[in-house]
């Protein structure tokens, strides 16, 4: 329905009416002397006022019929576009000579373990803004009867050896994090694996760097459906059983992943299953294997919550940012595809001190279950257990601004020995969202 906006004092109308009053008087002859002619004059002024009124909606469409604000985004036709992201400025001091090579802020358990074993006692410091992100989201109404949404996200963590350096300009190229679209309960593209429960992800500054949390992204096709008490997600996802820069690319079948999530006033609970085919064309060997995961996010006192995750099976690249390979590398060198089974557990507690201050304590442990063909040649490093502890204090003066300080401790158990190596780091971070 068209609405009109009326000026309360009508200063413009009054000015125009008064300016035209002499003409009206001249045209009305002896109107001032006659009551009927005075009434006619009043009516003419009212007509002049009505002609100057413009319907609010019509005026807006007339000025800009294509581009307009719509909620939190910009509407272009039937599509709303939203730009988001954050600037994340980090400073890290790491023990044993680790200070973020080339400002690369994605620390791996293997790199921490190597630092722990290198014998240096000095702490090194590094600064980075490479975790900063830029995202673009869209929502288009009524695409074949359903809303169509898309999401594109980038950051600058290509790798420690990627073009760019800390010497002069700290120039780094963006990389693709997520790129997917959703329509009619289907997801197409690259996003977090269905095997990962982001609701149970601990809130730490060095995000994703727990010893045993499932935290990867990959291309997929996924269907989401309602289920009793929650939802069921089933996906075919990109298969891979390489390691580092060695990608075999000889998988015949996609990874099959399913997750059931229950959500109610008692928390968020999930169980997930993974079925995958590990193959080696050179040895003409194929092994079908899998893994399971259970997780929960449980509200406790006030705004506090407890986050839990347990994983078991041929987890390989899915867990701990690829701490261990998918197969025993020594066995594979001998022509045998032997899935490397591990288990991992993570527990984190978040406590709100008040509306602005909060703290998180996270403990995570990952361990190889199988006996190795040769140690440590069957893995990517010298250790078969890793344990991480993170403790932080965060201050959010505003939902758009968070400052934090975090301490992390890592412990690595050497294969076939009782020796252990330790690594520590202190990290400060400022996150400014837009």
pLDDT tens string, the chain, 434 residues long: the values are 444 444 444 444 444 444 454 444 444 444 444 556 666 666 766 665 555 444 444 443 444 444 455 557 888 888 999 999 999 999 999 999 887 877 777 788 989 999 999 888 899 999 999 999 999 999 999 999 999 999 999 999 888 777 888 888 888 999 999 999 999 999 999 999 999 999 999 999 988 889 999 999 999 999 999 999 999 999 999 998 765 555 555 678 999 999 999 999 999 999 999 999 998 877 778 899 999 999 999 999 999 999 999 999 999 999 999 999 999 988 888 888 899 999 999 999 999 999 999 999 999 999 999 988 777 788 989 999 999 999 999 999 999 999 999 999 999 999 988 899 999 999 999 999 99
Assigned domain for 71 exists = no
Whole-angstrom distance, CA of residue 168 vs CA of residue 182: 42
Whole-angstrom distance, CA of residue 421 vs CA of residue 418: 10
Whole-angstrom distance, CA of residue 394 vs CA of residue 303: 15
Q: What's the domain range around 246?
A: 78-433
Assigned domain for 223 exists = yes
Split into its structural domains, the chain has a count of 2
* Same-domain status, 16 and 108: no
Whole-angstrom distance, CA of residue 246 vs CA of residue 106: 19
Assigned domain for 70 exists = no
Of the candidates 99, 344, 72, 324, the residue with the CA atom closest to the CA atom of residue 200: 344
The dihedral of CA 393, 397, 398, 404: what is its sign?
A: negative
The dihedral of CA 375, 376, 380, 382: what is its sign?
A: positive
* Same-domain status, 250 and 163: yes
CATH of the domain at 133: 2.40.160.10
Q: What is the pTM of this model?
A: 0.81
Assigned domain for 1 exists = no
CB atoms within 10 A of CB 150: 18
CB atoms within 10 A of CB 97: 14
The answer to whether the CB of 206 falls within 8 A of the CB of 427 is yes
Give me the DSSP letters along 378-410.
Answer: TSSSSEEEEEEEEEEEEEEEETTEEEEEEEEEE
CB atoms within 10 A of CB 396: 15
Token output for 165 = 């350096």
* Same-domain status, 253 and 173: yes
* Same-domain status, 259 and 180: yes
* Same-domain status, 295 and 175: yes
């Amino acid at each position: 329905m068209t609405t009109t906006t009326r000026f309360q004092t009508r200063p413009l109308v009054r000015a125009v009416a008064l300016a035209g009053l002499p003409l009206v008087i001249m045209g009305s002859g002896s109107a001032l002397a006659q009551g009927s002619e005075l009434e006619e004059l009043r009516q003419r002024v009212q007509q002049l006022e009505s002609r100057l009124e413009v319907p609010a909606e019509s005026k807006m469409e007339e000025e800009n019929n294509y581009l307009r604000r719509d909620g939190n985004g910009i509407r272009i036709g039937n599509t709303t576009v939203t730009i988001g992201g954050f600037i994340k400025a980090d400073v890290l001091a790491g023990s044993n000579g680790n200070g973020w090579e080339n400002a690369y802020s994605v620390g791996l358990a293997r790199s921490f373990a190597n630092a722990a074993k290198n014998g240096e006692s000095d702490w090194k410091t590094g600064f980075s803004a490479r975790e900063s992100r830029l995202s673009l989201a869209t929502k288009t109404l009524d695409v074949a009867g359903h809303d169509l949404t898309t999401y594109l996200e980038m950051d600058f963590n290509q790798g420690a050896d990627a073009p760019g350096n800390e010497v002069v300009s700290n120039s780094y190229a963006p990389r693709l994090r997520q790129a997917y679209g959703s329509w009619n309960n289907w997801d197409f593209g690259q996003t977090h694996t269905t095997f990962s429960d982001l609701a149970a992800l601990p809130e730490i500054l060095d995000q994703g760097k727990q010893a045993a949390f499932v935290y990867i992204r990959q291309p997929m096709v996924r269907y989401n459906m309602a289920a009793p008490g929650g939802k069921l997600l089933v996906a075919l996802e990109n298969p891979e059983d390489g390691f580092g820069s060695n990608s075999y690319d000889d998988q015949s079948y996609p990874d099959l992943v399913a997750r059931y999530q229950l959500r109610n006033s008692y928390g968020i609970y999930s169980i997930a299953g993974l079925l995958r085919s590990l193959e080696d064309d050179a040895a003409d060997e194929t092994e079908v294997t899998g893994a399971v995961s259970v997780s929960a996010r449980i509200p406790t006192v006030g705004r506090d919550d407890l986050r839990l995750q347990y994983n078991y099976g041929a987890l390989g690249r899915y867990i701990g940012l690829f701490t261990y390979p998918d197969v025993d590398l020594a066995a594979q060198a001998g022509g045998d595809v032997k899935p490397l089974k591990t288990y991992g557990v993570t527990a984190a507690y978040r406590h709100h001190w008040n509306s602005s201050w909060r703290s998180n304590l996270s403990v995570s442990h990952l361990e190889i279950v199988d006996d190795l063909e040769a140690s440590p040649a069957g893995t990517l490093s010298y250790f078969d257990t890793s344990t991480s502890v993170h403790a932080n204090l965060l201050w959010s003066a505003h939902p758009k601004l968070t400052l934090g300080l975090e301490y992390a401790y890592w412990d690595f158990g050497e294969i076939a020995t009782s020796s252990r190596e330790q690594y520590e780091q202190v990290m400060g971070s400022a996150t400014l969202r837009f």
